[in-house]
Chain A
C-alpha cells in the first residue's frame, strides 16, 4: 500500500529552526510537495521537489532523497505565524497526490 509518515506534532521556539521529516512509500514517484495549512483554512503551497537535493525559498527549505524515500521541510527564524499544520504529499505514478496526515507545529515565544 501507499504510505506517507510524518510526526503528528512538534514544538519549537520563536526565532529557532525546526525540521519536519516525511518518509514515503508510494507506487511510483512524480514529485513531493509541502503545504502549509492554518486551522480552518485550505492548504497553501510551500515547495516542490522532484530531484534529489535541497530547494531553498526564503526561510523555508525542502530536501529530497528519492533513494531513501525521505524528505524534510526546514523552517528558519521561526515566527509565531508559522504555527500551522504542515502537509507532505507525494504524487504517484498515476499523478495522484498521496497525503500525509500532517504535522502540527506549535511555536512558543
Chain B
C-alpha cells in the first residue's frame, strides 16, 4: 500500500510555543489530506480537510487560527499548533487520498504532542 510519513513522531514543548507537524505522501500524489486528533481511549476526530493549493476546511469547533494547515504541494501538508497549551496534548494523525472519490485513506504513523 501507499506510504504516508509524519514528522516528528514525538514532540514535547513548553506552553506558549508553536509546533509544526509534517505529513508527506511518499509514493503517490495526494490531492486531499486529512488531519485528525485522538485523545486517549477515544476515536479519531477529524480536525480539517486540506486540498492542495487551497485553504483547508475546518470542522466545527476547531480554531483555524490556532491550527494552521498548509498543503503547498501534492506530497506535503503541514499542521502548525500555535501557542500550544497543555490541553492541546494529543495524538495527531494525518491521512492522504490520491483522489477524493476512490480508494482508502492512507494514514501516517501519528505524532504524539505533549505540552508542558
Contacts and interface: CB of A to CB of B under 8 A. Distances in A.
Nearest to B1: A45
Contacts of A35: 107
Contacts of A44: 107
B33 to A, nearest CB: 13
Given A42-B108, A42-B110, A45-B1, A87 B101 contact: no
A101 B42 contact: yes
B77 to A, nearest CB: 15
Given A33-B104, A96-B49, A87 B44 contact: yes
B15 interface: no
Given A33-B104, A48-B104, A102 B43 contact: yes
Given A30-B101, A33-B104, A41 B109 contact: yes
B43 A101 contact: yes
Contacts, number: 39
A96 B45 CA distance: 12
A95 B31 CA distance: 13
A45 B3 CA distance: 12
Interface of A: 30, 33, 35, 40-45, 48, 87, 95-97, 99-102
Top 4 nearest A-B pairs (CB, nearest first) are: A42-B110, A42-B107, A101-B43, A42-B93
Given A33-B104, A43-B93, A99-B43, 14 more contacts: A30-B101, A33-B105, A35-B107, A40-B91, A41-B110, A42-B107, A42-B109, A44-B107, A45-B104, A45-B105, A45-B106, A87-B43, A97-B34, A101-B43
29 contacts: A30-B101, A33-B104, A33-B105, A40-B91, A40-B112, A41-B109, A42-B93, A42-B107, A42-B110, A43-B44, A43-B107, A44-B107, A45-B1, A45-B104, A45-B105, A45-B106, A45-B107, A48-B104, A87-B43, A87-B44, A95-B100, A95-B101, A96-B46, A96-B49, A97-B46, A99-B43, A99-B44, A101-B43, A102-B43
